[in-house]
Structure 1
């Protein structure tokens, strides 16, 4: 979600992106595509990368007999 849907030339804004990492581990990569009306850059790709490490205490352990 952007802080404003339209910006004038030279204006700045924020883009907020959330990644659901529930049940995931290891390296992930997601891309956010920002569409513009700039003829030289009609779209800009923002690549979000993360390495998800699961703490040993949160890993499921087998039941004891």
Structure 2
């Protein structure tokens, strides 16, 4: 599995359809083929980045 954000291969699976990247420190989920990207805050909470990147940001990359 590659990170959809930085394309790194140093990723891990946290749960069903939930992943983490050890290079850029983001988490993401995959539901029905759609990615949702999260920033991990200092206190461990997740902040959804859909507002920043848009819902289908991964389709716009070339």
TM-score normalised per structure 1 = 0.22
- Between structures 1 and 2, the one with greater helix share: 2
More relative contact order, 1 or 2 (CA 8 Å, 6+ apart):
1
